[in-house]
A and B are shown apart, each in its own frame.
Chain A
């Protein structure tokens, strides 16, 4: 019944990348929050969040992303969100967060291989 949910952290050519697979909702968003906090706490102010394999996103997840973005910007960095799926992009658009987040459609757009 439940879809696989997975978070992977890696550094590609100096760029920290967090890859999320599956549905980010009220049940799984805390894991993403922990991951973002952990990566930022390691001294990374700019983070790439690879959401190319994310299949669902709710307001709880958006709240986590906003929190992550604030932390990155406080440190002088940025949270780059990579998302190609039209359904997921629509959620950013209807909440106006597409104007807040630098959204990219491919990892190469944000310097991650």
Chain B
């Protein structure tokens, strides 16, 4: 919301704004995460190349979160948090069972590619287990001030 409380708002996001997206952990819905990443990127002043980088990176974040689990019954929750320095994105998979051995093996190869892509496109990234849920995160620093 802008300073006047106008619900029509502006076309920007500011310091401290946080957007949360939750959806069933299905591959065909990862496109939702990419769409939201695109929309947010434009609103925090990233250029078209940074937008494309983030679109790809967010998809990989979802894949990393999905890779350690049998996600058929879980939900993916993404949080996009805006600060003057960066856009922080986390992706948490909750409510999913651990992956079977074969799923883990397949996931290892894919996760390696995801790691390479994230390392090239964002400034920081990582993943960890938190209370039985997988959480992957990234930070993309801004080149200039917020719009």
Residues of A that sit less than 8 Å from B by CB = 1-2, 23, 25-27, 56, 58-60, 62-63, 66, 87, 91, 94-96
- Contact B27–A26 (Cβ < 8 Å): yes
| Per-position binary interface string of chain B over residues 101-118, scored 1 when its CB falls under 8 Å from any chain A CB and 0 otherwise | 000000001100110110
- Contact B121–A94 (Cβ < 8 Å): yes
Of A25, A26, A63, A87, the most chain B CB neighbours within 10 A belong to A26
Closest residue of chain A to B112 (Cβ to Cβ) is A59
- Contact B114–A59 (Cβ < 8 Å): yes
User: How distant is A81 from chain B, measured CB to nearest CB, in Å?
Assistant: 15
Cβ-neighbour of A60 out of B34, B52, B110 (below 8 A)? B110
- Contact B63–A59 (Cβ < 8 Å): yes
Chain B residues bordering chain A, tally (CB within 8 A): 21
Within 8 A of A (CB), among B48-94: 52, 55-56, 59-60, 63, 66
- Contact A58–B31 (Cβ < 8 Å): no
On chain B, the residues within 8 Å of A66 by CB distance are 109
- Contact B109–A58 (Cβ < 8 Å): no
Residues of B that sit less than 8 Å from A by CB = 27-28, 30-31, 34-35, 52, 55-56, 59-60, 63, 66, 109-110, 113-114, 116-117, 120-121
User: How distant is B74 from chain A, measured CB to nearest CB, in Å?
Assistant: 15
On chain A, the residues within 8 Å of B27 by CB distance are 25-27, 60
What CA separation (Å) do A102 and B116 show in the bound complex? 20
- Contact B30–A26 (Cβ < 8 Å): yes
Known: A87-B52, A91-B117. 6 other contacts (CB 8 A): A1-B31, A25-B59, A27-B27, A56-B56, A58-B56, A58-B60
User: How distant is B3 from chain A, measured CB to nearest CB, in Å?
Assistant: 32
Cβ-neighbour of A27 out of B28, B110, B116 (below 8 A)? B28
On chain B, the residues within 8 Å of A63 by CB distance are 109-110, 113
- Contact A59–B117 (Cβ < 8 Å): yes
On chain A, the residues within 8 Å of B31 by CB distance are 1-2, 23, 25, 27
